Structure 1
């Protein structure tokens, strides 16, 4: 009799334990703080946008979404941390379009890009081709003609080898048949300083840093690098419109999650990002900086990554770019 009671108690305890475990597993998400890793230093455009998104998600879901900066090795340190994190909806990545460039720059990455899935494109950071005022060109056609006649007199600066601004210039060379010389700097600020001073003639730069200098008359705009014009400087054509068909180079920020993250969590976050980024107070803040809100679906982000990774990897192999 005693043994029968003991067996019954064991079975009952097991059933209760399984029920409790099941209830815990089905606890509504999120039931604890959520981490958003940014693979760049604090204070940059990626970090600032990530914090805006984190604040909105915190308000919506009632749990803290905490931004953690993990820079290093061309963004691969922080990206790898998310790729290897549990796919439970408590770790996300906010990074830049550099995500599509690094597979071509680094022969061995500390993660497989397939270990990450898209959540949402956040914003587009329009890139603009700008020139020092003394360069005797006003548009893309004149630039191409001048560069071909004066191959040793036209150089473009960038924040470093392998970044989207550097590759935008190399893509221009490839499609326009020019030989603009690349001069890498340790950051955008010193490159811009030399552009203003006339030590380099061109830059492919984010509108957020170029716009104040354009308005001050210190540099002049030549064309947009993207497939479409920007609401800022609407009369300025794209490079493709101005004479280089097929040219398109964009810079964007996006959110990713570990590949196995449940679809319902990814959808909830993606949907709320779209709502948050399109609220007037946040959208107006971005527009004033020349930034375009996108807030895409996960599928649109994944398609963008596939397309741009192929484009940049092909170009990197063609010109032999090495990471800094």
Structure 2
């Protein structure tokens, strides 16, 4: 017996995976990411991949497939064999795109196996430092006094941050002009330069700029204040029910064997419990979700309904 076969047999014994299925699995696992390297989704994927490699003894290779708001990577995963060799580290777009794109080439529920809910990612609403509003109440008053004069950058059409901005306008009853951007970086640069008034940004991208006085934080999109930044109010304190955080989760193709699902879910849970991943998530102000397969499945279904209402209400369209 070859060394690999012996290791696979031992792993199969430990996880309950049928031996013939375990032997059929390739050594490397592709973890697809529908975003470019260096962003929040890529960071989460690489952190999880490193720890899951250590846990399972099988190499996780992050494969970036950016484009179409994550749909390219999702399509590749949906079309893959359900043997565990191809997984997807997806984000909120998995739920948003179900309504945003009228003709998806896959079903975001039926064509996937939810494996684990990894983390949520609150956004912070930032403004140029000299905007005459220090909080959400003053922003709303300013916008109502000057309808159509303020603007907000859209860092990605159809993203959670885009829809959070649209719901802010709708919930507060204010008229602010939306300006599309290709990403958060250029949007933040123009806010700092005073060319744009506002933008919803991931906390990781904006936190140092806020600390340095280059941006001003008005509020966070989470339901309550962030432990690391208790001075940033939650927007829900002014607009009750306002909660539009992004999230990251692990998926596989549909029809994965139950034993394999549990094996990956266990590895993901152990990765999230590791000091390395916890430290990395905390540094990016990401909040661990720790949702096992059944709970994550229920969460994804509810998110598709919730974001669908937001897409319909705001009239958001894909790029």
Partner of 1:171: 167
Seen in structure 2, the aligned counterparts of structure 1 residues 79 and 31 have a Cα distance that, compared at 3 Å, is: closer
Q: Is the 8 A contact 2:122 2:244 kept in 1?
A: no
One of 201, 210, 222 as aligned partner of 1:214: 210
Seen in structure 2, the aligned counterparts of structure 1 residues 197 and 26 have a Cα distance that, compared at 3 Å, is: closer
Distance 1:27 1:194 in 2: 52
Partner of 1:102: 97
Matching of residue 318 in structure 1 with residue 296 in structure 2:
no
Q: Is the 8 A contact 1:169 1:180 kept in 2?
A: no
Q: Is the 8 A contact 1:97 1:251 kept in 2?
A: yes
Q: Which runs of 5+ in 2 are unaligned?
A: 1-17
Q: Is the 8 A contact 1:140 1:222 kept in 2?
A: yes
Once the two structures are TM-superposed, the CA of residue 116 in structure 1 deviates from its matched residue by 0.8
Once the two structures are TM-superposed, the CA of residue 315 in structure 1 deviates from its matched residue by 2.2
Matching of residue 240 in structure 1 with residue 240 in structure 2:
no
Seen in structure 2, the aligned counterparts of structure 1 residues 188 and 199 have a Cα distance that, compared at 3 Å, is: same
Once the two structures are TM-superposed, the CA of residue 283 in structure 1 deviates from its matched residue by 0.9
Distance 2:60 2:225 in 1: 34
Q: Is the 8 A contact 1:126 1:224 kept in 2?
A: yes
Once the two structures are TM-superposed, the CA of residue 222 in structure 1 deviates from its matched residue by 0.9
Matching of residue 249 in structure 1 with residue 239 in structure 2:
no
One of 56, 59, 63 as aligned partner of 1:64: 59
Partner of 1:136: 132
SS at 2:235's partner residue? coil
Seen in structure 2, the aligned counterparts of structure 1 residues 185 and 224 have a Cα distance that, compared at 3 Å, is: same
Q: Is the 8 A contact 1:278 1:293 kept in 2?
A: no
Seen in structure 2, the aligned counterparts of structure 1 residues 195 and 26 have a Cα distance that, compared at 3 Å, is: closer
Partner of 1:147: 143
Matching of residue 194 in structure 1 with residue 190 in structure 2:
yes
TM-score for the superposition, normalised by structure 2: 0.89
Matching of residue 93 in structure 1 with residue 75 in structure 2:
no
SS at 1:203's partner residue? strand
Larger Rg: 1
Once the two structures are TM-superposed, the CA of residue 175 in structure 1 deviates from its matched residue by 1.5
SS at 1:135's partner residue? coil
Partner of 2:6: none
Matching of residue 204 in structure 1 with residue 200 in structure 2:
yes
Partner of 2:114: 118
SS at 2:166's partner residue? helix
Distance 1:99 1:186 in 2: 19
Once the two structures are TM-superposed, the CA of residue 26 in structure 1 deviates from its matched residue by 4.7
Once the two structures are TM-superposed, the CA of residue 93 in structure 1 deviates from its matched residue by 0.5
Aligned residues: CA RMSD: 1.8
